[in-house]
């Protein structure tokens, strides 16, 4: 019998794709506990007597804490690897989400000197804004993509796009389901440790349980820090000695002329400020949507919503469905821009993403003014959906292309911190502006949309051809040090 030729043996799937799949499902299962916050706004306000500005403090402080902790968690990710950081972070995060089910209406006021805060609101800020968002920074999409780019070179944008799509699909499926579940179990009870949970309390408990019992075990079991740990090469490429004679291995980019050993060095270079500046605006727009989109949609929708052939007796369900469609379309957006990013200048694609989101905001703001609120919401959901999360993998891959892997988790953390600073201020401003302008979201959404103009310009102005290791890879013998771009690169972008 003739031995089977090595050429006919089917090679096993490259382990990097298991990393991508794990990141996808971890994001899918964890996303509703954070991005679904808007579902609970109108449910918790009457229960505890809060107003929209109170809720805005919870969301905005959470975004700020999440951003401030990201460089620290990025450094821990660089040092200890993804399994420990993700496993511990997800476990604590899930337990904290479950604990929100047991919040009580406490009328006692706590005097902090400059302001008095209800004790129940202070507890909500402590659990959601501090604990949950600190743990979320450990298992953030930033750290996930910093992991994925280590496993891929030639297919980097595609891999990061697929990993980031988990957030989008989670929004598409889980948030509308949570809204539906909230209505279905409004009069039913779930008995946990002798406590009867009803409505939104049950939903918090179930969302947290998914993180503890599904997300955390997936991360611990599958995630690995780099392909070298398993004796593999990026993209699953063979070792040079295994190639046929005369065949040269394909090299992909690591870092470019600004490849660094220390994260501090990146602040001396233009791309860091361009990427971070655009990401501030990304945070302004996405943070605003995460907290205020569903309440805004509820404000402008009629009590009974008729859309196409469907009738919705609960406008919250339709608002959540729109939010879910918007986040679900992000899956298509990140995959499409991922493929585009592997074939075009990534900074051009990133600029287009911000410009598309700007058009979406103009639809959301002005179409309701002209008596077309439904058209404005639907147009916004479609356009914003294609551009919301798409900026994340593009920013991560550009960061890796320019600065390399040695401090990538920390550098990505600082870039993401700028994102969350934008979210903090936009959420706060929207909450107070809602009260100032007669319970209207017109001005906060308009201002957020206008900031996308400079963001698009900042992304386009990045001299990717000049800086990126994709076009100017450092020679293998060159040390990973901060260097200026070569004069021969000219002014090509």
Task: Calculate what percentage of the chain has a pLDDT beyond 70.
Answer: 82
Tell me which of 6 and 97 has the higher pLDDT. Answer: 97
The mean pLDDT of 42-49, rounded to a whole number, is 76
Residue linked to tokens 């507890």: 123
Rounded to the nearest 5 degrees, what angle is found at the Cα of 51, between the Cα atoms of 45 and 55?
Answer: 80
Count other Cβ atoms within 10 Å, centred on residue 492.
10
Residue 270's closest CA among 252, 256, 254?
256
Question: Does an H or E element contain 383, and which?
Answer: helix 373-385
**End-to-end distance of the chain based on CA atoms, in angstroms?**
59
Question: Does an H or E element contain 441, and which?
Answer: none
Cβ neighbours for 432, distance < 8 A, ≥ 6 positions apart: 53, 56
Whether the pLDDT of residue 239 is over 70: the answer is: no
Whether the pLDDT of residue 305 is over 80: the answer is: no
Confidence of residue 356 (pLDDT cuts 50, 70, 90): very high
pLDDT confidence of residue 257: 64
Whether the pLDDT of residue 243 is over 60: the answer is: no
CA distance 42 to 316: 9
Q: Are 39 and 178 in contact, with CB atoms under 8 Å apart?
A: yes
pLDDT confidence of residue 480: 40
pLDDT confidence of residue 216: 92
Segment 51-60, tens digit of pLDDT: 777 777 887 7
Whether the pLDDT of residue 191 is over 70: the answer is: no
pLDDT confidence of residue 115: 67
Question: Does an H or E element contain 117, and which?
Answer: strand 116-118
The answer to whether the Cα torsion of 415, 421, 424, 426 is positive or negative is negative
Whether the pLDDT of residue 198 is over 90: the answer is: no
pLDDT confidence of residue 482: 44
Cα→Cα distances 182→199, 202, 311, 325, 478, Å: 5, 8, 18, 18, 58
Residue 347's closest CA among 261, 270, 451, 250?
270
Confidence of residue 196 (pLDDT cuts 50, 70, 90): low
Strand segments (E) across 294-429: 305-307, 310-312
The mean pLDDT of 432-446, rounded to a whole number, is 85
CA distance 382 to 138: 30
Question: Does an H or E element contain 59, and which?
Answer: helix 52-80
198, β-bridge pairs: 189
Q: Are 204 and 40 in contact, with CB atoms under 8 Å apart?
A: yes
Average pLDDT, the chain: 79
Segment 54-100, tens digit of pLDDT: 777 887 788 888 888 888 888 888 888 889 999 999 999 999 998 88
Whether the pLDDT of residue 291 is over 60: the answer is: yes
Q: In the numeric block, which tokens belong to residue 389?
A: 């999360």
3-class DSSP assignment, residue 189 = strand
CATH code of the domain occupying 13-232+251-489: 1.20.1250.20
Q: In the numeric block, which tokens belong to residue 144?
A: 């996930």
CA distance 169 to 162: 11
Tell me which of 30 and 459 has the higher pLDDT. Answer: 459
Segment 469-489, tens digit of pLDDT: 777 665 544 444 444 343 334
pLDDT confidence of residue 473: 64
Report the DSSP pairing between strands 109-111 and 116-118.
antiparallel
Most confident of 135-139, 261-265, 324-328: 135-139
């Amino acid at each position: 019998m003739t031995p089977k030729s090595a050429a006919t043996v089917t090679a096993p799937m490259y382990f990097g794709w298991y990393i991508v799949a794990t990141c996808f499902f971890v994001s899918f299962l964890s996303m509703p506990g954070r991005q679904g916050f808007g579902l609970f706004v109108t449910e918790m306000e009457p229960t505890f007597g809060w107003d929209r500005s109170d809720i805005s403090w919870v969301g905005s402080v959470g975004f700020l804490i999440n951003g401030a902790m990201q460089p620290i968690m990025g450094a821990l990710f660089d040092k200890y690897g993804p399994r420990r950081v993700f496993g511990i972070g997800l476990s604590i995060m899930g337990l904290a989400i479950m604990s929100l089910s047991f919040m009580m209406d406490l009328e006692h006021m706590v005097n902090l000197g400059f302001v008095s805060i209800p004790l129940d609101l202070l507890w909500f800020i402590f659990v959601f804004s501090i604990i949950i968002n600190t743990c979320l920074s450990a298992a953030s999409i930033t750290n996930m993509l910093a992991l994925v780019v280590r496993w891929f070179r030639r297919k980097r944008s595609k891999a990061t796009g697929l990993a980031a799509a988990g957030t989008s699909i989670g929004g598409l499926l889980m948030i509308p389901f949570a809204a539906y579940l909230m209505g279905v179990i409004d009069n039913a009870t779930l008995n946990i440790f002798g406590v009867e949970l009803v409505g939104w309390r049950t939903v918090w408990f179930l969302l947290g349980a998914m993180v503890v019992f599904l997300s955390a075990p997936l991360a611990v079991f599958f995630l690995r820090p780099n392909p070298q740990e398993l004796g593999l090469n990026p993209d699953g490429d063979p070792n040079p000695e295994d190639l046929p004679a005369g065949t040269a291995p394909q090299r992909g980019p690591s870092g470019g002329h600004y490849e660094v050993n220390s994260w501090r060095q990146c602040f001396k270079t233009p791309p860091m400020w361009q990427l971070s500046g655009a990401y501030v605006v990304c945070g302004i727009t996405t943070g605003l949507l995460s907290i205020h989109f569903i309440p805004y949609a509820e404000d402008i929708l009629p009590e009974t919503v008729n859309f196409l052939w469907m009738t919705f007796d609960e406008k919250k369900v339709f608002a959540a469905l729109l939010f879910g469609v918007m986040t679900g379309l992000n899956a298509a957006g990140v995959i499409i821009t991922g493929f585009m990013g592997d074939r075009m200048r990534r900074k051009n694609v990133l600029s287009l993403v911000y410009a598309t989101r700007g058009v979406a905001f103009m639809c959301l703001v002005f179409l309701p003014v002209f008596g077309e609120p439904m058209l404005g919401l639907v147009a916004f959901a479609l356009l914003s959906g294609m551009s919301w999360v798409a900026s994340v993998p593009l920013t991560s891959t550009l960061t890796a292309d320019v600065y390399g892997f040695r401090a990538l988790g920390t550098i990505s953390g600082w870039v993401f911190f700028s994102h969350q600073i934008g979210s903090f201020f936009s959420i706060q401003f929207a909450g107070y502006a809602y009260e100032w302008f007669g319970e209207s979201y017109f001005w906060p959404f308009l201002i957020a949309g206008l900031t996308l103009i400079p963001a698009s310009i900042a992304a386009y102005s990045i001299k990717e051809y000049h800086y990126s290791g994709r076009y100017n890879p450092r020679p293998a013998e060159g040390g990973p040090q901060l260097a200026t771009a070569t004069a021969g690169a000219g002014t090509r972008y």
